[in-house]
Amino acid sequence: MTPNIKLCEKWADSFVNPYRIIKYRQYGFGYRDPQQLDAYKLEMSYGVERFFLLSYCLACCWPGLGAKSDLRVVRQWNDLDFVFPSAEAKQYAQQQRHYVPGNSVPIDVDVQHRSGGLTSRIFVSIPRFDEGRPVTLGTVDEQGRIVGYPDYSWHENQGSNCQGLTSVFRVAIDECNRLWVMDAGKIGETQFCPPQLLAFDLSTDKLIYRHVVNTSSYTASSLFITPVVDVRSHRYGDCSDTFVYVADVSGFGVLVVDVAGDRSWRATNKLFFPYPSRGTFTIDGESFDLMDGVLGMALSPYRPGKGRLLYFHALASTTENVVRTGVLRNESLLHDPTVNPGDVFVFPEERASQSAAEAMDRDGILYFGYMDPPSILCWNTASEFSPRNFHKVAINSETLQFASGVKVVNNLKGEQELWVLTSSFQRVMTGSLNSNKINFRIHAEKIPVLMANSPCKTNPKGQSPDYHANIIYQTHHHHRQYKYGAVAFL
């Protein structure tokens, strides 16, 4: 098939001048298709120039130029179903309202690929926003049911046993085959137990680490939800140098846990706070307000002998920020949690929509979701943080409405995979969740497939992946200069 260049040029022109779009409906590009409309809306929100739109049109019309960009749906649910140890245990949970069908909402996903003929395991977290969640962390069985991890006894006490799990928002599996679990200790607004960070050895499913957060490191409003694991291996198999950074979404801070020293401290900065003007979310025609602070976090790739950067953003925001992990790992924060404002940077440009979770691959490509239009995007951190450098990975107004869990997973072949958990979270917030519809989905695809022809794959101007950060730094006391590339900063 030979593309109609003139027709593509007219289509590109229609985006340059949106008022002319109606004129070109006669060419049959499917403007009545909601998914297609979302794609156009996404492109227009970027303010893309005519040349890029022409290229996009060519990719659609010319076989071989368009890369596969859609994520595959691995699991999907109308409502979550659970495995109980016995019929009596299920009955008791229902009587105590520990299990209310339809109340459970999955938030995060992570995956363990196992060797030796063992099947891979999908982990999901189900925070206890309220009553009725029998399990707060589990694996997905072959029937799609949730099995409590490491077993049901860790969950059944519903906050009355602080040695178990009270409420888990997100988890992280590291390169040392450890599952890190941040237990917020809250059910609803009630702090039943102190927050705790746990680690399980996935080869045995045994608890190997527990850190109970000191009261000086959290407030009454704190809610620890997103752990990011920083392992610095000095030799093969060495996992001793491990720090975990945890987002406090409603206490507006970051908890830093020194695993080897078994101690933690709190970091605070104004960029951990929400933006009031970004606190209203509209997804699929439904709106809700949520003033959540720092939530999405991702680490730059580990380069031996070099520092790492922590990228982060508040849920109620459209900005992206970055801080050197060396700043967070400084134990002086034990005495003063306030991070020097000059050590935390906000990129000058913003997203067109709010975003929840994010994750970064080994090449420094950041993956994140958009609320409007519902989509997954990528950004090569060797380039400027700007909508013109954001590129589509997948877009679907029905299946990608709220990406609350985003993970980059290494499979047994050494390939990286992108896993995403999405939900109709707006209907959870507005109380309009419909059990007759699919409400929750887990998506996945190999990153080499997703990036096959993606602009995110190419480093700008031939820069090395070591230039993975778009860094803003202050060179003079009264003048801020913007430069790109981490090497000058690290």
DSSP state of 237: T
Per-residue model confidence as pLDDT tens digits over 117-132: 899 999 999 999 999 9
What pTM did the predictor assign?
Answer: 0.84
How does pLDDT run across 329-374, given as a tens digit for each residue? 999 999 999 999 889 999 999 999 999 999 999 999 999 999 989 9
Domain ranges of the chain: 5-61, 72-474
Res 284: pLDDT: 87
Q: Using 50, 70 and 90 to split pLDDT, how confident is the model at 22?
A: very low
Cβ(352)–Cβ(371) below 8 Å = no
CA dihedral 247, 399, 300, 214 (to 10 degrees): 10
CB 314 within 8 A of CB 272: yes
Collapse the DSSP code of 425 into the 3-class scheme (helix H, G, I; strand E, B; otherwise coil) and give the result.
Answer: helix
d(CA 249, CA 226): 8
Split at pLDDT 50, 70, 90, the class of 236 is confident
Euclidean distance between CA atoms 31 and 41, whole angstroms: 11
pLDDT single digits (tens) 168-218: 999 999 999 999 999 999 999 999 999 999 999 999 999 999 999 999 999
Cis upstream peptide for 274 (omega within 30°): no
How far is 447 from 410, CA to CA, in rounded Å?
Answer: 10
- Give the pLDDT band of residue 479 (cuts 50, 70, 90): very low
> Would you state the pLDDT for residue 409?
97
Say if residues 381 and 389 touch (Cβ distance below 8 Å). no
- The whole-angstrom separation of Cα 113 and Cα 415 is 11
Q: Is the pLDDT of residue 57 over 70?
A: no
Task: Compute the distance between CA of residue 465 and CA of residue 448 in angstroms, rounded to an integer.
Answer: 16
Whether the per-residue pLDDT at 270 is higher than 60: the answer is: yes
Mean pLDDT computed over 51-76? 53
pLDDT level of residue 234 (50, 70, 90 thresholds):
confident
- What integer pLDDT is reported at residue 21 of this predicted model? 33
Residue 318 has pLDDT above 70, yes or no: yes
Q: Which stretch of 19-33, 132-146, 309-323, 375-389 has the lowest confidence by average pLDDT? A: 19-33
Percent of the chain's residues with pLDDT above 70: 80
The CATH label, of 1.20.81.30, 3.30.70.2190, 1.10.645.10, 2.120.10.30, for the domain at 72-474 is: 2.120.10.30
What b/e sequence results for 200-225 when a residue is b if at least 16 CB atoms lie within 10 Å of its CB, and e otherwise?
Answer: bebeeeeeebebbbeeebbeeebbbb
Average of per-residue pLDDT across 140-161: 96
**184-193, 239-248, 302-311, 328-337: range with lowest mean pLDDT:** 302-311
pLDDT at 472: 41
Report how far residue 69's alpha carbon sits from residue 74's, in angstroms, rounded to the nearest whole number.
16
Residue 304, pLDDT score: 82
Which stretches within 72-195 are classed as H helix?
87-95
Question: Residue 232 phi/psi, 5° resolution?
Answer: -115, 100
- Specify whether the backbone of 347 is left (phi greater than 0), alpha (psi in -120 to 50) or beta: beta
C-alpha span between 303 and 308 (Å, rounded): 8
Residue 76: pLDDT above 90? Answer: yes
Unique residue bearing structure tokens 């979310």 = 281
Which has more pLDDT, 70 or 89? 89
C-alpha span between 73 and 58 (Å, rounded): 27
Find the distance separating the first CA and the last CA of the chain, reported in whole Å.
49
Q: Is the pLDDT of residue 17 over 50?
A: no
For residues 391 and 107, what is the distance between their CA atoms, to the nearest angstrom? 24
User: Are the beta carbons of 388 and 350 closer than 8 angstroms?
Assistant: no
Question: What are the DSSP calls for 176-234, one per residue?
Answer: TSEEEEEE--EETTEE-S--EEEEEETTTTEEEEEEEPPGGG--TT--EEEEEEEE--S
Tokens 């595959």 sit on residue = 72
How many of the other CB atoms lie within 10 Å of CB of 279? 17
Q: Going by DSSP bridges, is the β-strand pair 146-148/344-346 parallel, antiparallel, or unpaired? A: unpaired
**pLDDT tens per residue across span 400-413:** 999 999 999 999 99
Give the pLDDT of residue 464: 54
CA 256 to chain centre: 19
Report the C-alpha gap between 290 and 270 in whole angstroms.
18
Each residue's pLDDT tens digit, 275-287: 999 999 999 889 9
List helix spans (H) across 349-468.
Answer: 425-430, 447-450
